[in-house]
Structure 1
Amino acid sequence: MRDWRFWAATACVTAALLGSIGLSLRAAVANARLEAPSPTEIVYDRNGAFLTQVAHGPESLGYGYWPLRQIPKRLALATLALEDRRFDEHPGVDPLALARAAWRNLLHRGPRQGGSTIAMQVARMQNPKPRGLVNKLDEALSALALVARHGREAVLLHYLRLAPYGAGSHGAAHAARFYFNKPVEDLSWAETALLAAIPQAPGRMNLARASGLRRAATRAARAIDALARQRALDREEAALAKAQLLAMRPIETPKRPQALHLALRYAQLLREGRIEAEPHDPRLHASIDLDLETRMERLARRYLDGFRDAGARQVAIMVAERQGGNHIVAEVGSARFGGKDAGSFDFTRTARSPGSTLKPFVYALAFERGVLESTDLLADVPEGASGVNNADGLYLGPMTPRQALANSRNVPAANLIRRVGVEANFQFLHEIGLHELEAPAESFGVSMAIGSLPTQLGKLTRAYAMLADDGVLSDLIYAKEQRLGAARRALSLDTARLVTSMLADPQARLPTFPRYGPLEYPFAVAVKTGTSQGYRDAWTLAFSKRFIVGVWIGRADAGTMREISGAASSARLAHAALVQLHGAKPGEIEDDAFLPPPDRIALDACLEAGAQGSCAATLREWAKPGAALPVAPAARPANAERLVIATPEADTHIWRNPEQPAAVAKIALKLAPLARAEQIVWYVDGEPFRVAETDETVFWPLRPGQHQIEARRALQPGRSRSVRVVVE
């Protein structure tokens, strides 16, 4: 009876064991696939310096993987000499190796051995599990299935695709490029043996450390000896390889820049499919110049430090080289990555209020729609601007579009948006990539001219590149392998060159921006600054014939700074960057003006009268043939008609009716008749009030107090005597 029970129990255990083996075998056969992660792209700067590498996808091994087209012969021989000497003789599992390993481990003789074949290691790399007898059995069954299904060569190739080579590098192709910056096929015998040694213990054989290199070289030497015995290399080759191993020094593995913004930028471009590397050679050739990037980082920090006492905390700068496209050669996302000032944010991609940097596109659209001509006059006066005021609180009266844009006057720009249409401006700014908002245009209104519509530094840089490229909008270029969208014309050549000429005209910036400040360069530069409400953001966009520079200064918390305007801060950094990029020397001036609009003629207008009928200051405008500027070509003759105020009379005393509505509490302003009509500006207390014709009656709202009223000719010498009015 006892014997029956024993054999019954034995039969049950045996059946269970055989069943478990059967299930494991079935699973091994089902999972006998050769699976590899997506390739890891290595990004190099334009000079070949390592920038970053990008591993992606949940199936990725992590930092470092490249595919292999075919088995590298030298590496295969060295690997098999160390890992699986009877590779060609067994079906995926080597019973002799397993027995030897078990015997040594049982007797504790020397370091522990696993006895795993190449096929078993592939099974473990594809399906990692804790070490143990059951899992070892699964690996063995999977190895048998892998070799049976795919053959020895395919399994060996897959091992060389996946094997860990330390420092996060997986696969021989990646490791060869990562450590030695060459294809795996071009490795010397010493380099080949060194790589073959690492997978046994990647952590202990760290090639960046002297101790790790020493361990790897010792094991590599054993591979060289084994290959010499196999006559895979002759005595001289073996001696040379061993000598080279002894002479090796720790290998400094490539390090990406401390700031991760560039690495994240290239990861995004890859994720979006805008950059695509060749599958078997996933190197990317970036447009970035890391040396220039470092110089721009230092420059940005130095200028930011100068404004910290006024509340500035962060800075971003972009530089594009224009030759052959707009290639991004430097992109600094913050002053320092990490830290208390939110340096981990990339402020080239952070939406902020752009201040006045959108104004050139407001003028451009008005020119395109035929609403504006370069010879028109725009009124910079308090009324009629939908509540928009100028940043300096002053009003300069009638101005040409060139002057209004160059002086960055808010009122004329807001009025242009109103004339062309809020919706039309909103859509145009969307078409040139400055926003992707789906909100109603009315929610931004005419204040789009002064920064109510948020955008990013990168988008602004691209839009200004469109102006620089004669109105053709194209992608900013980050890599040689980038998939570029089709370039398209967003503005006519005429409009783009006209607006560029306005932004590059230092004389037109007077009086708001004085000459020879940070907006003026020793070479041709079109420049526009912007300051958001409350001094929260300071911007400058500037381009020469060779480069485009975009700068933002502000705070991560969008807090206010103390009167840090774009012209006083970011413009100084942009100026320093462009001068450095051009290699300009003090005192040197280049004669390289931007090309004018091809179908326009140059008109010189007098801005300021000089002695004896001469002109002390002129302004050049590019006008359509037959057009004339509403500005005298020289100082006005002494016998010109004088302006005389007919109404109100001097020393008029007015008592307001307190019951009268404010809308009708006004007095008429009118000139005595002149022989010919012309434009004038009415001034009240020294501030421009209204642009009018000489025969037009203007009504001024009464305000208590004593006031001085006068009329001046528009943009030319000549004014009336001041009339004193007292309102009670």
Structure 2
Amino acid sequence: MRRTKRGGRLLLAAAPFLLLFVLWAADKIWPLPLHEVNPARVVVAHDGTPLWRFADAEGIWRYPVTLEEVSPRYLEALIGYEDRWFWRHPGINPFSTARAAWQALVNGRIISGGSTLTMQTARLLEPHPRTLGGKLRQTWRALQLEWHLSKRDILTLYLNRAPFGGTLQGVGAASWAYLGKPPTQLSYSEAALLAVLPQAPSRLRPDRWPERAEAARNKVLERMATLGVWSQRQARESREEPVWLAPRQMPQLAPLFSRMMLGKSRGNKIITTLDAGLQRQLEDLALHWKTRLPPRGSLAIVVVDHTSMSVRGWVGSADLNDESRFGHVDMVSAIRSPGSLLKPFVYGLALDEGLIHAESLLQDVPRYTGDYRPGNFDSGFHGPVSMSEALVRSLNLPAVQVLEAYGPKRFAAKLRNVGLPLYLPGDAVPNLSLILGGAGARLEDMAAAWSAFARGGRAAKLRLQPDDPLVERPLLSPGAAWILRRVMADEARPLPDDALPRVAPLAWKTGTSYGYRDAWAIGVNARYIIGIWTGRPDGTPVAGQFGFASAVPLLTQVNNLLLARALSLPEDPRPPSVTRGVICWPGGQSLPAGDANCRRRLASWLLDGSQPPTLLLPGQEGVGGIRFPVWLDEAGRRVAADCPQARQQTLIVWPLPLEPWLPAAERRSARLPPASPTCPPLGLAAPPPLQLTGVRDGALVKRLPGAPAASLPLQTRGGVGDRWWFLNGKLLAARAPGITLRLTEKGEYQLLVMDEAGQTARIEFTLH
């Protein structure tokens, strides 16, 4: 008997420990279902506006919030109406449960619920039938919640899991979908409405049953006034507000950008740097612009605030839902040929290298480099051009000349180092075709690299989220970046500081890929970088599509839209390293007034006061060079250096390939003094001049009556070695001393022939 009593006492003493062990074991066996396998996620703009939602496995979408991101009015209404003792009870409220049971017993039906907010949260985490067993399971889960989580955590779970009708869960999603505002800005009336909706979300949906929703809201307002949480006046004024909401609006902005961010970021709410208002305007503009695109054509727009490198707008296609235009393909991230968009970089790097200055003389003449024969977009050659003119007119041959001097491998490595990789086909290595679109690039990378022209030469990485660090690397010197930006803004002429706009206007550049597959335009205004691409995502050529006609009009519209939104614009003062100077062609450097070698004076921006001499093509340093030490006798005739009374003089002449574009008095034969017959110079024999015969320059050519084509037999005289023939910039034949043209299309033509010494002869004529 004593043993039995002793065992009973031990069992009674151990009972609390056994109970705790059982509870601990049950908690381990049936843990709280806090983590979802496929959670709902939402991508939001920098101000919290939802851009796009990604539902969970059951099609539910949420907008995660914290307690600080919800109006205190809503928390007051929720706790005051649903669970006044929330902050004090251990998860279940025995008084509320007993009251609910007594009311149900007396009235034969449920009058009020006894569930606490913790119990409601438990039911949201693990739905169960409304049976005794289900109620016990709900109670167990509520105790688990109180055991593992704080009251704030439990309340946060409820805020994000409460049902609000249809596929909406959480007060954040409901506030944006029903009211179009963040939950921090709820009025008393709106807070009361959202507090009561989870009781019967389908029956009280304000967009379907506004009268029911209004009656339920008014009950909450009366309760809050009765409890003294809100004043009678606040409750009365709030009851006067009608509940009449527009149909629910799901977030449908930046779909392709949001899809990309889903793979880049973790968390259920992905905060980005996008501006929701601007994004909506850009997408509307893209939809409007779609009607102007060719069949199956699309477009892409990216807008970056270069003061912070935050991406403010991202339109990856003209219309996500248009399958014929491949609307699901994000062309901001696609690799495409950039055409001429790289030209400003090679000119800027050459400025820093001391190879050229802003008005350096470059040669837009035919080139024959192995199998590579670059030409101009306008199918012609222009002879002597300055760097600034070549950039503004997007001439190809001068850019190839400068890239050849700088080095294509070095150029590609420099761009890759600042975040602009160039994608070459197969095992190809960087070559001269890079500068004309011979490698692929992404619009997002291009926009980031162009930030160098607005950030003092430092190219920065795009920032997609507010927490992304600002990462930048030097690409150009501040002076070179400033000069290139002003040239592209049509301000190549050096003006005094008081006449120079301190807020830089739009600087822009176009690009057109080979075969009219891609049309680009990149612009930098006082605050933003704007990147535009148009074309067919499948790479099919579009006849007549090029940057200036297809992309620039859209660039202009986006720029106007941005300037209309801007409240203030940063200034762009001239760096101390940039000065004004006057240089002379053909030498490229300053010369005193009256110097006979100054054939043309040009005002130029100079970097660090540097005046590099004219950049020559490979092979022009010898006979084809431009600086000749000559010795003259007393009569001004050229003589040998050892002739009696010979005096030395430097003569600067134009490069030989430019002679067809020069007046007769500027050509080498006219500039070089005649040789002395008694003491002739040695080693300066110029090649015989190249001449083109068969049609005169400026001629009007007509076909013979009844003839389908005009036949023009042409021959050359003089010159050295083989010949190369170009018609409107296109190579027709090589090594032939003569050629016969057969032309059928009316229009203007430029015919040019080049010899092995680099001499060129040119004529222009019109076929009627």
2:578 counterpart residue number: 598
1:669 to 713, 719, 722: 719
1:387 counterpart residue number: 372
Quick one: which amino acid aligns to residue 450 of structure 1? L
Q: Does residue 424 of structure 1 match 2:407? A: no
**Counterpart secondary structure, 1:382:** coil
1:465-484 → structure 2 map (5 Å cutoff): 465-476=451-462, 481-484=466-469
Q: Does residue 203 of structure 1 match 2:202? A: yes
Q: Does residue 288 of structure 1 match 2:251? A: no
Contact 2:692–2:717, Cα closer than 8 Å, also in 1: no
Q: Does residue 66 of structure 1 match 2:65? A: yes
Q: 1:40 to 1:593 in 2, by over 3 A?
A: same
- Measure, in 1, the Cα distance between the counterparts of 2:163 and 2:583: 72
2:255 counterpart residue number: 260
Q: 1:293 to 1:385 in 2, by over 3 A?
A: farther
Moved more, 641-650 or 526-535: 641-650
- Measure, in 2, the Cα distance between the counterparts of 1:296 and 1:447: 34
Quick one: which amino acid aligns to residue 359 of structure 1? K
Q: Give the drift of 1:313.
A: 1.2
1:331 counterpart residue number: 314
- Measure, in 1, the Cα distance between the counterparts of 2:406 and 2:245: 64
Q: Give the drift of 1:154.
A: 6.7
Quick one: which amino acid aligns to residue 200 of structure 1? Q
Q: Does residue 701 of structure 1 match 2:701? A: no
Q: Does residue 499 of structure 1 match 2:484? A: yes
Q: 1:402 to 1:188 in 2, by over 3 A?
A: closer
Q: Does residue 219 of structure 1 match 2:213? A: no
Contact 2:48–2:271, Cα closer than 8 Å, also in 1: no
Q: Give the drift of 1:689.
A: 12
Alpha-carbon displacement from aligned partner over 1:448-472 (angstroms, at most 9, x marks no partner): 2222322222222222221233312
- Measure, in 1, the Cα distance between the counterparts of 2:147 and 2:504: 72
Moved more, 389-398 or 356-365: 389-398
Contact 2:725–2:752, Cα closer than 8 Å, also in 1: yes
**Counterpart secondary structure, 1:488:** strand
Moved more, 397-406 or 559-568: 397-406
Q: Give the drift of 1:562.
A: 0.9
1:450 counterpart residue number: 436
**Counterpart secondary structure, 1:250:** coil
Contact 1:87–1:117, Cα closer than 8 Å, also in 2: yes
- Measure, in 2, the Cα distance between the counterparts of 1:102 and 1:445: 85
Contact 2:691–2:717, Cα closer than 8 Å, also in 1: no
1:574-613 → structure 2 map (5 Å cutoff): 574-579=555-560, 581-582=562-563, 598-599=578-579, 601-603=581-583
Q: Give the drift of 1:552.
A: 1.0
- Measure, in 2, the Cα distance between the counterparts of 1:90 and 1:648: 103
- Measure, in 2, the Cα distance between the counterparts of 1:648 and 1:637: 14
Q: 1:419 to 1:86 in 2, by over 3 A?
A: closer
Q: 1:93 to 1:337 in 2, by over 3 A?
A: same
1:361 counterpart residue number: 345
2:531 to 547, 550, 562: 550
Q: Does residue 347 of structure 1 match 2:344? A: no
**Counterpart secondary structure, 2:342:** helix
2:299 to 295, 311, 315: 315
1:489 counterpart residue number: 474
Contact 2:452–2:458, Cα closer than 8 Å, also in 1: yes
1:62-461 → structure 2 map (5 Å cutoff): 62-68=61-67, 78-79=77-78, 82-83=81-82, 92-93=91-92, 116-129=115-128, 134-147=133-146, 155=154, 158-160=157-159, 162-166=161-165, 170-171=169-170, 190-209=189-208, 211=209, 213-226=210-223, 231-233=227-229, 237-238=231-232, 240-241=234-235, 244-252=238-246, 256-261=251-256, 263-264=258-259, 270-271=265-266, 286=273, 288=275, 290=277, 292-308=278-294, 311=295, 313-321=297-305, 324-326=307-309, 328-340=311-323, 341-372=325-356, 375=360, 377-378=362-363, 380-384=365-369, 386-390=371-375, 391-397=377-383, 399-435=385-421, 442-443=428-429, 445-461=431-447
Contact 1:501–1:526, Cα closer than 8 Å, also in 2: yes
**Counterpart secondary structure, 2:319:** coil
Q: 1:26 to 1:138 in 2, by over 3 A?
A: farther
Q: 1:82 to 1:361 in 2, by over 3 A?
A: same
Q: 1:178 to 1:421 in 2, by over 3 A?
A: same
Q: Give the drift of 1:314.
A: 0.8
- Measure, in 2, the Cα distance between the counterparts of 1:542 and 1:720: 38
Q: Give the drift of 1:338.
A: 1.5
- Measure, in 1, the Cα distance between the counterparts of 2:177 and 2:130: 30
**Counterpart secondary structure, 2:549:** coil
Contact 1:40–1:66, Cα closer than 8 Å, also in 2: no
What is the RMSD computed on CA atoms of the aligned residues?
A: 5.6
| Structure 1 unaligned regions, length at least 5 | 1-18, 274-278, 509-521, 585-590, 608-612, 653-665, 672-681, 691-699, 723-728
Q: Give the drift of 1:335.
A: 1.8
Q: Give the drift of 1:358.
A: 1.6
Alpha-carbon displacement from aligned partner over 1:279-328 (angstroms, at most 9, x marks no partner): 9xx896846262x54554455455553342xx561122233455x44554
Quick one: which amino acid aligns to residue 399 of structure 2? A
Q: 1:79 to 1:166 in 2, by over 3 A?
A: same
Q: Give the drift of 1:173.
A: 7.0
- Measure, in 1, the Cα distance between the counterparts of 2:386 and 2:140: 85
Q: 1:22 to 1:140 in 2, by over 3 A?
A: farther
1:12-91 → structure 2 map (5 Å cutoff): 26-28=25-27, 35=34, 43-44=44-45, 50-52=49-51, 62-68=61-67, 78-79=77-78, 82-83=81-82
**Counterpart secondary structure, 1:435:** coil
Alpha-carbon displacement from aligned partner over 1:206-249 (angstroms, at most 9, x marks no partner): 2334x1x43343334434445555x4458xx3475255235232
Instruction: Give TM-score, length-normalised by structure 1.
Output: 0.67
| Structure 2 unaligned regions, length at least 5 | 1-17, 494-502, 566-570, 588-595, 615-651, 655-661, 672-685, 695-715, 742-750, 764-768
Contact 1:422–1:442, Cα closer than 8 Å, also in 2: no
- Measure, in 1, the Cα distance between the counterparts of 2:447 and 2:441: 11
Q: 1:215 to 1:605 in 2, by over 3 A?
A: farther
Q: 1:171 to 1:417 in 2, by over 3 A?
A: same
1:500-515 → structure 2 map (5 Å cutoff): 500-505=485-490
- Measure, in 2, the Cα distance between the counterparts of 1:628 and 1:153: 73
Q: Give the drift of 1:383.
A: 0.9
- Measure, in 2, the Cα distance between the counterparts of 1:79 and 1:704: 93
Q: Give the drift of 1:53.
A: 6.4
1:529 counterpart residue number: 510
Q: Give the drift of 1:537.
A: 0.5
Moved more, 593-602 or 530-539: 593-602
Q: 1:51 to 1:649 in 2, by over 3 A?
A: closer
